[in-house]
Amino acid sequence: MDRRRFLMGSTVAGAAAFGLSACGTVRQALGAMSPPPAVIDPEVDELQQRTFRWFTHVTNRANGLTPDRWPTESFSSVAAVGFALTCWPIGVERGWISRAEARERTLTTIRFFHDLPQGPEATGVGGYKGFFYHFLDMRTGHRFGQTELSTVDTSLLVAGMLFAARWFDGDDAGEVEIRRLAQAVYDRIEWDWVMVRPNRISMGWHPETGFIEADWHVYNEGMLVVLLAIGSATHPVPTAVWDEWCSVYDRSWTDRWGPAHLHFPPMFGHQYSHMFVDYRGIRDRWMRTKAAEIGDFDYFENSVRAVAAQRKYAIDNPMGWAGYSADVWGLTACDGPGDFKQVIGGREREFFSYSARGPGDRDDGTIAPTAAMASMPFAPAEVTACLKAIRARYGAGVYTEFGFLDSFNPTLTEHAGRLQHGQIVPGVGWVDGDYLGIDQGPIVIQIENHRSDIVWKAMRGEPNLTRGLKRAGFTGGWLERA
């Protein structure tokens, strides 16, 4: 199962409403269609560029594979490859690489995935039925270990390809080939094959054991999977899959952690599909009903509220972790120090290694900068303040030439045993030693969505995605002109 698949149970609705004054201005500033301000804080620009440089530094130029993590030796994450493909045009727009280099990197990557062998075998292939394995060998592109054929990681990879196909719109032979191959890779995905239970898409498949029992059926980043599956012109799933997806939303609707919203504890669930889908002003049937009940509301506003909830949780800090504040916050799936318990200040604390973290869910005091930084479109002032606060308080201990290390924990300032990841840094606490591709990518992409609308603008014209949105029942806003 995908290492980010930590299915969350139903949440418990809270009682008190939470004011939205801090986040209400975000929506007004962005507007339904107008691009965000072009001028951003220099520290935000620097973070985006440093994080982008990580991808240029680690991605294999021979085949386009991006490692799951670095500098620890690693396999490739196909989701991280999709994020790299999205980053290359951003680099051109920002003047960090040339169009020729971005085209070369993109074409190398898409050719490699187009030509990767596929089949039911457990080894020697990169995928099956059009899907790709979650992790691939960095050299051969073949399945790594016994990892799963992943529907969500394939979706994130293909979303990067489809964006590249929209952005590389020139007559150059390489750009023509990018468009042709990206569509070919998408068209051969047999989405209907993974609908093994009525109107539900499985999270994945193993050649040894068959389909994973878990489906995309809780509000989270799986929205992108379902939309791409519904939008397919070759192997679509029925639109009833979206109705089934929304049918369990009431389990997730809560105001326990802040303003009422569809709650998913780790922040990545409120970011991943938003990297490629501009949800501002478009609504499906469930959202139209909810908007009629509570006023202006859509999936973008839901993520705005999720940010507000994370900040409120950090301010309240019910577990008493060091460092949490209005300006230092951010819980998501990320590395942690290890799986152990330790008494700190007379209180037994439990820590985790890689895990999904969120308000009230496996919170062990580990802060992941990507949780806040990749929320830039939802709360630019608050995210910028968080960036400045973390840099001012923890400095070079967590912020380096490639941006933020994946995570840190100010509560764990000493440990006598072995750490699963990272080290204790004096004056900071525990700090991870790696950068993770699936956490680096959202920082670059979401900052760009805020500052220039590049990705959203391209994907508003992407026919496969817009077909999926319309089939799922989305109406309004920019979709009426797509």
CATH of the domain at 324: 1.50.10.140
In a domain, 44, yes or no: yes
Considering only CA atoms, which of 201, 221, 224 is closest in space to residue 211?
Answer: 201
In a domain, 184, yes or no: yes
Burial of 41 (0-12, 13-18, 19+ CB in 10 A): middle
Q: Sign of dihedral through CA atoms 372, 65, 2, 269? A: positive
Angle at 327 between CA 256 and CA 353, to 5 degrees: 70
Considering only CA atoms, which of 156, 165, 102 is closest in space to residue 277?
Answer: 156
In a domain, 90, yes or no: yes
Range of the domain at 138: 21-481
Tens-digit pLDDT string for the chain (482 aa): 344 433 333 222 222 223 333 333 333 333 344 454 547 899 999 999 999 999 999 999 999 999 999 999 999 999 999 999 999 999 999 999 999 999 999 999 999 999 999 999 999 999 999 999 999 999 999 999 999 999 999 999 999 999 999 999 999 999 999 999 999 999 999 999 999 999 999 999 999 999 999 999 999 999 999 999 999 999 999 999 999 999 999 999 999 999 999 999 999 999 999 999 999 999 999 999 999 999 999 999 999 999 999 999 999 999 999 999 999 999 999 999 999 999 999 999 999 999 999 998 999 999 999 999 999 999 999 999 999 999 999 999 999 999 999 999 999 999 999 999 999 999 999 999 999 999 999 999 999 999 999 999 999 999 999 999 999 999 999 999 98
Q: At what angle do helices 78-94 and 42-58 cross, to 10 degrees?
A: 130
Contact between residue 409 and residue 331 where contact means Cβ atoms under 8 Å apart: no
Question: How many domains does one find in the chain?
Answer: 1
Q: Could you tell me the end-to-end alpha-carbon distance of the chain, in angstroms, rounded to an integer?
A: 35
In a domain, 26, yes or no: yes
- Hey, how many other C-beta atoms are within 10 angstroms of the C-beta on 23? 24
Q: Quote the CA–CA distance of 217 and 201 in Å, as a whole number.
A: 8
Determine if residue 467 is left, alpha or beta; phi over 0 gives left, psi from -120 to 50 gives alpha, anything else beta.
Answer: alpha
In a domain, 179, yes or no: yes
- Hey, how many other C-beta atoms are within 10 angstroms of the C-beta on 28? 7
Q: Quote the CA–CA distance of 132 and 153 in Å, as a whole number.
A: 8
- H helices of 326-379, in order, are 369-373
Considering only CA atoms, which of 30, 7, 59, 13 is closest in space to residue 478?
Answer: 30
In a domain, 7, yes or no: no
In a domain, 89, yes or no: yes
In a domain, 293, yes or no: yes
- Hey, how many other C-beta atoms are within 10 angstroms of the C-beta on 72? 14
- H helices of 1-98, in order, are 21-30, 42-58, 78-94
Single pTM value for the model: 0.93
State the virtual CA torsion across 217, 221, 223, 226 in degrees, nearest 10.
-70
